[in-house]
A = this chain, B = another copy of it.
Amino acid sequence: MPRRVTLRRPSTLPRSCWRVFPNWQMPETSKRPASSRVSPVSGYGGGPAVEAWLRRAVLSPFEVMRRTIPDGLEPVRDAIIDLADRQRADLILTTGGTGPSARDLTPEGTGAATDKQLPGFGELMRRSSLEQVPTAILSRQTAGIRARTLVVNLPGRPSSIDVCLAAVFPAIPYCLELIDAARIDVDPAIVASYRPG
């Protein structure tokens, strides 16, 4: 059952379209600056949807840090670099900005901030979403690794977020282990997590 989370509206919203970065890190590595405590208010409510899903599915204690940033390659790239390198996020989940329109540059920002690409994430998310809507092929979602941080692009709409998280999350705990990130446990009733061997 999801815990209730109090959301505060950010005092200064940079633009009318937002990215939300639930930043997964264990409590002991919490070094969040006050400025990063903005709450997610995306056009679609993507951020709260991601957080609600995580609170349902993940049993290990974790901390969610959200950021709302403007569209564009540089803001996404810089936010990922900061969250990964300075805030030591284990998992960065972006929402929105993956479509074909001019302002959608989240995949480019993700690519610029990560060393390794994981094309299987985007393939499976598109394939799963395609069972819902034929426009799923327009999504350019990807995933990548920056040192010990896994970055996964999610769509902006809550209903699509749930479909994508259900599709790829079973592989995330093992992936985090392989990159020496945090070990997490998930609710097997929600996520059929798997560790080979």
Contacts and interface: CB of A to CB of B under 8 A. Distances in A.
B178 A134 contact: no
B126 A130 contact: no
A84 to B, nearest CB: 14
A1 interface: no
A167 to B, nearest CB: 9
Given A120-B140, A140-B117, A135 B100 contact: no
Interface of A: 99-102, 104, 108, 116-124, 126-127, 130, 133-140, 145, 150, 157, 168, 170-171, 174-175, 178-180, 192-196
Copies in the complex: 3
Specify which of A99, A100, A101, A193 lies most central, judged by the most chain B CB atoms within 10 Å of its CB: A100
B116 A140 contact: yes
A137 B122 CA distance: 9
A194 B168 CA distance: 25
A196 B134 CA distance: 10
